[in-house]
Structure 1
Amino acid sequence: MDFGGGDEIRFERIGRAGVVTLTRPQALNAITHRMVTALTRALHAWEHDADVALVLVKAEGRAFSAGGDIVQVYHAGRAGAPPADFFADEYRMNALIEGYRKPYVALIDGIVMGGGVGISCHGSHRVMTENAQFAMPEVGIGFFPDVGASHLLPDLGGCFGFYLALTGNRIRYGDALWSGLATHTIKAADQAGLIERLTEVGDPEQVLRGFFTPARRETERPVLEAIARHFSQPSLKAIVESLERAAPEDEFAAATLATIRKRSPTSLAVTFRELRAGQTLTMAECVRMEFRILCRMLTGHDFYEGIRAALIDKDGRPTWHPPSLEAVRGAEVDAYFAPLGDRELAL
């Protein structure tokens, strides 16, 4: 089936399922505008096709998807044409997935970050193998957790979503299951059998009961309690101060504080406010808010500096502006959330 994805994404009708396969393994299945457009077309078509009982999304290679193709975004922005349209279409697709009227099964075997989270973790069934690794690492490149993360992360218990967003740290499939990011965990060796049964039966609840293998939570209880204690503070400043007080005698607090201090101060401030706002917003409201932030990020400094340091020059030494949390002004953060007028995201 051809929805215009070329060699980047494949669409098939197999049995009772519409099957999507991400086919850019050499690029860790980084999401492109072409992939977003094609997947959106397929989802609209299959939602109204009586012969399609469910949608199954999987990927080739060792990553489900490592995120959006941000190197492409970097070059476009540096050329004076920041690709806001790509993000607008991506956010619309994320909202479509979150509200999809048929079962949407994401089979995650490998890395899932950024844009990859957007096409998987809003689905009704998020199935991870022992190879899965989840992260939203955007604050490390001067960006912010987008693709609906402001709707997804605040709902995780014990302030776990705030911890993930403000550190960018990775977790494995046990923590993903415990936190609610994954709905099911299975053995990687069982993927072919699961796919065969899903396409035959068309009922993911029935099929997944036979393949589900419980995964042990990787993060120990004392650390989970520390995360809840530190990241439940009412402001970003209070979170940092809480970590600072504990750091001299607490290895976790010291390591977490060191990680946060490496991140873009502006990104941290914007991300904290974004997640706090997302606690009371619908998915549609969240992606509209994220688009406002995105448009300002694309004309700012830290996003391009973060990508330069991580992926262009690869020196790992970004120079953030401003350089510290103390130097980030409230009015500067407010500006990221201001209405866009006639450029607001339309859903």
Structure 2
Amino acid sequence: MSLTLLTSTYRLRSLSRLQRIQGHMMSSHVEPEVLLEKVGRAGVITMNRPKVLNALNLSMIRQISPQLKKWENDTETDIIIIKGVGGKAFCAGGDIRAVTEAGKLGDSLAQDFFREEYILNNAIGTCRKPYIALIDGITMGGGVGLSVHGRFRVATEKTLFAMPETAIGLFPDVGGGHFLPRLRGKLGLFLALTGFRLKGRDVQRAGVATHFVESKKIPDLERELVELKSSSAENVSRVLDSYQNQSTLDSEKPFVLHQHMSDIDRLFSSSSVEGILQNLKADGSEFSKKQAEILSKMSPTSLKITYKQLQAGASLSLQDVLVMEYRLSQACMRGRDFYEGVRAVLVDRDQNPKWNPSTLEEVSDQSVDQCFSSLGEKDLTF
């Protein structure tokens, strides 16, 4: 074979390899992270990052926010539906690793992400049209913010709800300070401090979801909602109720925390996190021991911030809660525990964070109060 032929063959192979690589790169970019479609008189938002459990990133927020406003003001759109693809998750949370990297570098993403996410949470909470979140699968952190403030939240047997932020040196944000203290008794404070996971029907029983529908019925439910001739909140409610009535799965099982509710109300009624821990240790039941053990692994700073956040949030509007939470998010970005928590839980996965300060007693009231102080012109505004 001549040198020229060899060279041209090599070039062709290189070219086709380059084209394959480019083609692959193109195809990996072609798949949008969020789908925004008009189906009949419904606006449908679909989180489309199944490989990362539909984790929410800034570019998704920037696509959803203007579209939500557009549909809210559009006379041709009656309802808004939000869902996730992949069968495992609605949305497992915010893209925390990207935020961590940005925070370490002092990049503006650490401000922009929380600011724009909270503005979206507020837009969902104030949306004038029926907003229906189909929370079929894992729904944590940022996924809770995309669903819980809307008028309707439909859980299935696949739903797994949690606000596990105290384990990574954060706090239950995205409006957690608004909805958690409004759950019955001390349930919200318990969920916020411990990161306890609720599954399936229990998500509705806790008051986080408004309805429970079996996962296999969700496509039919969505079809019926989209085909509604008159999509008033009453009509949407009627359709959701009818699907809930057809779903008997796990209906005979009691609420997972049923036998512990009075204990939770009693043990978590204290004027401080230290007091709660003392109550748990003094109680001595298996349940109390387990909760004390869980709390001992959480960031002491996060526990104290979270306690104060829920105490304050109980009497604030969603908008005021989000202003407060933005201040807290930036305090966490300036602190140490968030980066250490993400390292231990999500990066190295050694599950052994070294918190600083390492005990509740070392976290002063003054340092907690500072986290809540105004950021002046950098405060969140709507």
Q: What TM-score bracket applies, with the shorter chain setting the length? A: over 0.9
Structure 2 SS opposite 1:123: coil
Aligned to 1:267: 302
Structure 2 SS opposite 1:57: strand
Instruction: Give the partner amino acid of 1:37.
Output: R
Q: What per-residue deviation string (whole Å, max 9, x for no partner) do you get for residues 118-158 of structure 1? A: 00111100000010010000000000111011001000002
In 1, distance between residues paired with 2:202 and 2:260? 12
Deviation at 1:6, TM superposition (A): 6.8
Give the one of 206, 209, 212 matched to 2:241.
209
Give the one of 52, 56, 72 matched to 1:27.
52
Q: What per-residue deviation string (whole Å, max 9, x for no partner) do you get for residues 212-233 of structure 1? A: 1364443243211111111122
RMSD of aligned Cα (Å): 1.3
Alignment of 1:231-242 (within 5 A): 231-242=268-279
Alignment of 1:62-77 (within 5 A): 62-77=88-103
Alignment of 1:107-186 (within 5 A): 107-186=134-213
Alignment of 1:95-114 (within 5 A): 95-114=122-141
Q: What per-residue deviation string (whole Å, max 9, x for no partner) do you get for residues 287-333 of structure 1? A: 00001111111011000000011111111110000001111111110
Aligned to 2:38: 13
In 1, distance between residues paired with 2:339 and 2:254? 36
Percent of pairs with identical residues: 41
Aligned to 1:49: 74
1:188 correspondence with 2:220 = no
In 2, distance between residues paired with 1:259 and 1:160? 16
In 2, distance between residues paired with 1:121 and 1:173? 15
Give the one of 370, 374, 381 matched to 1:335.
370
Q: Is the 8 A contact 1:135 1:164 kept in 2?
A: yes
In 2, distance between residues paired with 1:223 and 1:285? 32
Instruction: Give the partner amino acid of 1:325.
Output: L
1:228 correspondence with 2:275 = no
Normalising by structure 1, what TM-score? 0.96
Q: Which has the larger radius of gyration?
A: 2
Q: What per-residue deviation string (whole Å, max 9, x for no partner) do you get for residues 267-302 of structure 1? A: 000000000000110011000000111111101100
Aligned to 1:278: 313
Q: Is the 8 A contact 2:211 2:241 kept in 1?
A: no
Equivalent pairs counted in the alignment come to: 341
Deviation at 1:178, TM superposition (A): 1.6
Aligned to 2:24: none
Aligned to 1:78: 104
Structure 1 SS opposite 2:186: helix
Aligned to 1:311: 346
Q: Is the 8 A contact 1:243 1:257 kept in 2?
A: yes
Structure 2: tracts of 5 or more residues without a match: 1-29
In 1, distance between residues paired with 2:113 and 2:61? 8
Distance 1:220 1:321, change over 3 A: closer
